[in-house]
Copies of this chain bind each other. A is one copy, B any other.
Amino acid sequence: MDSKMLCLGVLTLGDASGYEIKKYLEEGPIAHFHEISFGSIYPALGKLSAEGLVDWREERQGGRPAKKVYTITPAGTRALEQALVMPPRPDTHRSDALTYLFFGTLMTATRRREVFEGYLEGYRARLEHWTGVDFRDESPARRFVHDLGVEIYRAMVDFMEARGHVLFEDAPDRNEDTNQGGKS
């Protein structure tokens, strides 16, 4: 699914502006499996409009800038349905931080710890944040997707808490870890 189909998908849930589409993709229950920037949303909407897959109207608001609210057209719905018949592409999980740790011997023990703690902390924060969001109004399918994302975070946090110590059980840096200052 490219940006165009993704935007179309969000529009099946209700009319929205480009700005709102991005917000939904970042804050909604599918946030765990996507990341998208304005630089791809706005051109995507422009193309969809040119192809007749969406319509739009301008909505002026007191104070805030006017927004272009997009609506999916019947042709748009058909195009999306068609796209969903194609086999989905395989998932990709990319992790820079795990690659760093994978080649951990090239870092000092201090740096390694820093990378690990930052990574774990990031997932802890995500876990805490998302378990606090209320998606009870969402459809079962959308809750399913969201909850699967949360389960992945939980699995990662659990695993790192249980097994992270192995990353530090070899020779420590000379002196570097006696200096416990620096961060927080």
Interface size classification for chain A: 35 or more
Bound Cα distance A136, B111 (Å): 26
Contact A1 B147 (CB under 8 A): no
Interface members, chain A 142-159 (any B CB < 8 Å): 142-145, 147-149, 151-152, 154-156, 158-159
Contact B167 A144 (CB under 8 A): yes
Across the interface, name the chain B residue whose C-beta is closest to A151.
B159
Contact A32 B93 (CB under 8 A): yes
Identical subunits present:
2
Contact B91 A106 (CB under 8 A): no
Q: Does A89 contact B (CB under 8 A)?
A: yes
Q: Does A134 contact B (CB under 8 A)?
A: no
Which residue numbers of A lie inside 8 Å of B, CB to CB? 1, 6, 9, 12, 29-30, 32-35, 77, 80-81, 84-85, 87-107, 111, 115, 118-119, 122, 139-145, 147-149, 151-152, 154-156, 158-160, 163-164, 166-167, 169-170
